[in-house]
C-alpha cells in the first residue's frame, strides 16, 4: 500500500488529504481567516502559518510523514513547462517560488509546505498538472502586439481529471479523444484537449466574465479604465482578477445568490447571468473552430457546473458542436493523488523542473536578486 499526502493551498483555505493508494482516508479544508491574512501581506509570509495547519492535520489523524511514499502538491506560480504531468520539487523550483514567482498566489505555498514537512527524510515531493504548460499550437500564442506573446494558462489539474473521468465512462482513454473542457469556478477557463495535449485555450482574463473575473474587456475601454486615476497598477490587477464579474455587479460571488435574485424577478441579474453563460458558449465555439468543429465531447466542470440553470443555458447554445457532459465540482485532491500513484507505478514520467524565470541565468542569481513579486 502506498500512502500519499495531497496539499492544495487556495487564497483563503488550505486543503489537505491523506490517501492510501487511491482511497482518500482523511481530508480537510482549513480556513485562513481574512483577519489573519491581513497580517501576512506577502504570500510567503503565510508559509509557517499554513505549514502549522498541515502538521496539525497530520497530528489530529495520527499520520506520520515517515509513512509516506510521496507528497503531491498543487503547482504554484512557476514558469512555463513543456509538458503536463509531474515535476519534481527541486532546488530551482523552490528558489523560483520563494524569490521569483510568476505571480503572487497562495498555491505557491503547497510545494514549499511539502518540502518543510519532509525535511530530513527521503520522501519525494512533486507537483502535478501545473497551470502553465506550453504545449499549445504556436499559432495560438500570436497577438497583435509583437512584444506580447500570449502564454497558455488554465485550470489544468481539474480539467485533465475531468477528461480522464469522462473517457473512462465511455470506455476510452483521455488521449484518444478531442474535448473542449470548461472549468466553471471563481475564474472560468477553457481548453481544447486533443489526444492528451491542450492545443489551445481561453484563460479567465480573455474569455467570459466569472464570479470574480472581468473576463475579456475591449482594449479601448480597458485603456481608459487603467488611466482614469482610480486605481494603481496592483489595485487594477486585483480588481480585474478578484473584484470584477458577478462580485462587481452584485456584491456576491455565489451564483446561487444571483439565481435567487432572478427567481425574485430581478431582470438585471437575469441579463448579466445570461451574458456570463453566453460568454462561456462563445469561448467553446472559439475553441471548436481550432479543429474545424471536430470535437468528440464538451465537458462542463467546476463549482458552477452544479447549477442546472447555468449549464442548461450553455448547453442549449453549444450542443450543435458536440454532445455536452456535465461533471460538477472539483476533484483536484483526487487528481493530485492519482497523478502521484501513476508516477510511483512507473506509468508516467517524473520530469525535472528546468524553467529559469525570465531575466535570470542561475539559482544563485534568483536568490541574490529577488523579483518585486517575491
**pLDDT at residue number 118:** 97
Which three three-digit cell numbers place residue 45? 509570509
Angle among Cα 139, 143, 146 to the nearest 5 degrees reads 110
Using the predicted structure, report yes or no on whether residue 191 has a pLDDT greater than 90. Answer: yes
**pLDDT at residue number 373:** 76
**pLDDT at residue number 11:** 81
Q: Give pLDDT tens digits for 14-68.
A: 999 999 999 999 999 999 987 888 899 888 999 999 999 999 999 999 999 999 9
Q: Give pLDDT tens digits for 64-81.
A: 999 999 999 999 899 999
Nearest CA-CA partner of 29 in 10, 19, 16, 47: 16
Q: What percent of the chain has pLDDT over 90?
A: 90
Helical (H) or strand (E) element with 226:
helix 219-226
Helices 108-118 and 47-60 meet at what angle, rounded to 10? 60
**pLDDT at residue number 104:** 81
Distance, CA of 89 to CA of 96 (rounded, Å): 11
Which three three-digit cell numbers place residue 297? 465531447
Query: pTM of the prediction?
Result: 0.93
Decide if 99 contacts 366 (C-beta within 8 A): yes
| CATH T-level assignment (fold) for domain 3-135+332-368 | Nucleotidyltransferase; domain 5 (3.30.420)
**pLDDT at residue number 139:** 97
Domains of the chain by residue range? 3-135+332-368, 138-328
Provide the CATH number for the domain formed by 138-328 in this structure: 3.30.420.40
Amino acid at each position: 500500500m502506498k500512502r500519499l499526502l495531497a496539499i492544495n493551498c487556495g487564497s483563503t483555505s488550505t486543503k489537505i488529504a491523506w490517501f492510501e493508494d487511491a482511497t482518500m482516508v482523511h481530508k480537510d479544508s482549513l480556513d485562513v481567516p481574512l483577519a489573519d491574512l491581513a497580517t501576512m501581506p506577502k504570500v510567503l509570509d503565510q508559509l509557517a502559518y499554513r505549514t502549522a495547519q498541515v502538521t496539525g492535520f497530520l497530528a489530529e489523524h495520527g499520520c506520520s510523514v515517515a509513512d509516506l511514499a510521496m507528497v503531491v502538491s498543487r503547482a504554484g506560480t512557476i514558469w512555463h513547462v513543456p509538458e503536463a504531468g509531474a515535476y519534481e520539487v527541486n532546488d530551482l523550483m523552490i528558489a523560483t517560488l520563494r524569490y521569483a514567482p510568476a505571480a503572487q498566489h497562495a498555491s505557491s505555498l503547497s510545494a514549499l509546505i511539502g518540502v518543510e514537512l519532509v525535511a530530513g527524510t527521503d520522501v519525494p515531493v512533486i507537483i502535478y498538472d501545473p497551470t502553465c504548460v506550453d504545449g499549445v499550437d504556436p499559432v495560438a500564442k500570436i497577438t497583435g502586439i509583437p512584444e506580447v506573446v500570449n502564454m497558455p494558462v488554465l485550470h489544468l489539474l481539474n480539467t485533465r481529471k475531468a477528461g480522464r473521468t469522462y473517457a473512462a465512462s465511455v470506455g476510452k482513454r483521455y488521449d484518444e479523444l478531442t474535448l473542449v473542457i470548461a472549468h466553471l469556478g471563481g475564474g472560468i477557463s477553457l481548453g481544447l484537449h486533443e489526444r492528451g495535449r491542450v492545443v489551445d485555450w481561453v484563460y479567465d482574463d480573455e474569455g467570459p466574465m466569472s464570479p470574480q473575473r472581468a473576463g475579456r474587456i475591449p482594449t479601448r475601454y480597458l485603456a481608459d479604465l487603467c488611466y482614469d486615476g482610480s486605481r494603481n497598477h496592483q489595485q487594477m490587477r486585483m480588481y480585474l482578477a478578484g473584484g470584477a464579474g458577478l462580485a462587481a455587479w452584485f456584491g456576491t460571488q455565489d451564483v446561487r445568490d444571483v439565481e435567487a435574485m432572478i427567481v425574485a424577478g430581478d431582470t438585471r441579474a437575469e441579463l448579466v447571468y445570461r451574458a456570463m453563460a453566453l460568454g462561456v458558449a462563445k469561448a467553446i465555439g472559439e475553441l471548436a473552430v481550432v479543429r474545424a468543429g471536430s470535437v468528440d465531447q464538451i465537458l462542463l466542470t467546476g463549482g458552477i457546473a452544479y447549477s442546472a440553470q447555468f449549464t442548461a443555458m450553455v448547453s442549449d447554445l453549444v450542443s450543435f458542436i458536440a454532445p455536452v457532459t456535465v461533471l460538477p465540482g472539483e476533484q483536484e485532491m483526487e487528481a493530485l493523488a492519482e497523478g502521484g500513484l501513476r508516477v510511483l507505478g512507473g506509468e508516467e514520467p517524473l520530469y525535472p523542473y528546468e524553467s529559469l524565470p525570465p531575466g535570470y541565468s542561475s539559482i544563485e542569481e534568483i536568490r541574490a536578486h529577488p523579483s518585486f513579486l517575491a
